[in-house]
Amino acid sequence: MTTIAFLGLGNMGGPMAANLVAAGHTVHGYDPVAEAVARAADAGVITLGSVVEAVRGADVVVTMLPSGALVSSCYDEILGVVDPGTLLIDSSTISVDDARAVNARAGEAGMLQVDAPVSGGVKGATAGTLAFMVGGTDEAFAAAQPVLDPMAGKVIHCGGTGSGQAAKVCNNMVLAAQQIVVGEAFVLAEKLGLSAQSLFDVITGATGNCWAVHTNCPVPGPVPGSPSTNDFRPGFATALMNKDLGLAMDAVASTQARAPIGTHAAELYADFARENGHRDFSAIIETLR
């Protein structure tokens, strides 16, 4: 099978790499955090001591990192080591501009490269049911699809380079607004004497249903294992949601799109992230009580 180097074995990358191992691939992993390395090793990832060691000889390199700056600095190292024709998949959430910049550098070095950010959270990463939004040429997409499949419920080719990231910022702007308004609804229900379980049962069978309720319910009880049942440990950290909303607001500004609700959600999360960046983003419900 294919040798895949996986850089970034955190909340998402760890279980994604584990699913590639389970699919029969040889997976070489690197992360600077010892705890992440230990978890990945337990799942069968061959862990190595640096980016360069992890990517040497790989057929495919997957990056799952917190920021565009880190993706770019990892590409500095990757492009000096891997063979021409290697497939590079960046699944981090970064800006469209950063995605296009690393793609151009990879192309100049003779690599196939796609942006392939994901939706579905840690649950989806663990279950192998992530939605991948892929930007890149038809050739690069065709090469990436079989690598993504063991980690995916859905793989969508969104268009040329950067269009996966474009889809991702639009999706997360929707998610942020939904998580806030779902919190508003559960707090309103509390004040009206309606139980959280009853509201959950109604919404999940009705027109208000969405991931922010059926999977990431912000009150403990209705969804076993949701971050709200675990002191709001992420899940999807508020700092990362705040980052994604910053990318969305940059895109709104540069295209002069109108997004009044998305903009308000970005303001609320920027405020909340100041002291709650490490907590799941559904914890914003606490500011509504």
Peptide bond into 246 cis (omega under 30): no
Q: How far is the CB of 134 from ligand NAD (least distance, A)?
A: 14
Residue whose Cβ sits closest to ligand NAD: 10
Using rule CB under 6 A, residue 240 touches ligand NAD: yes
31 in contact with ligand NAD (CB under 6 A): yes
Instruction: Assess 30 for contact with ligand NAD (CB under 6 A).
Output: yes
Contact 54, 27 (CB under 8 A): no
- Rounded to the nearest 10 degrees, the angle between the axes of helix 68-78 and helix 96-108 is 10
Instruction: Compare residues 37 and 199 and give the one whose CB is closer to ligand NAD.
Output: 37
- Give the residue with the Cβ less far from ligand NAD, 187 or 246: 246
Q: How far is the CB of 157 from ligand NAD (least distance, A)?
A: 18
Question: Which residue from 1, 32, 225, 253 is in contact with ligand NAD, where contact means CB under 6 A?
Answer: 32
Active site residue 154: no
Which candidate, 250, 92, 236, 258, places its Cα nearest to that of 175? Answer: 236
Residues 178-217 that bind ligand NAD (CB under 6 A): none
CB 196 within 8 A of CB 189: yes
Catalytic residue among 123, 154, 168, 191: 168
Q: Which of residues 63-82 bind ligand NAD (CB under 6 A)?
A: 64-66, 70, 74
Residue with token string 């196939």: 112
φ, ψ for residue 47 (rounded to 5)?
A: -90, 140
As measured in angstroms, the least distance from the Cβ of 12 to ligand NAD is 3
Q: Which DSSP string corresponds to 70-91?
A: HHHHHHHHHTTTSPTT-EEEE-
User: What end-to-end distance do the CA atoms of the chain give, in Å?
Assistant: 52
Structure tokens at 69: 């700056």
Residues with a catalytic annotation lie at 168
Q: Which residues bind ligand NAD (CB under 6 A)?
A: 7-13, 30-33, 36, 51, 64-66, 70, 74, 92-93, 118, 121-122, 236, 240
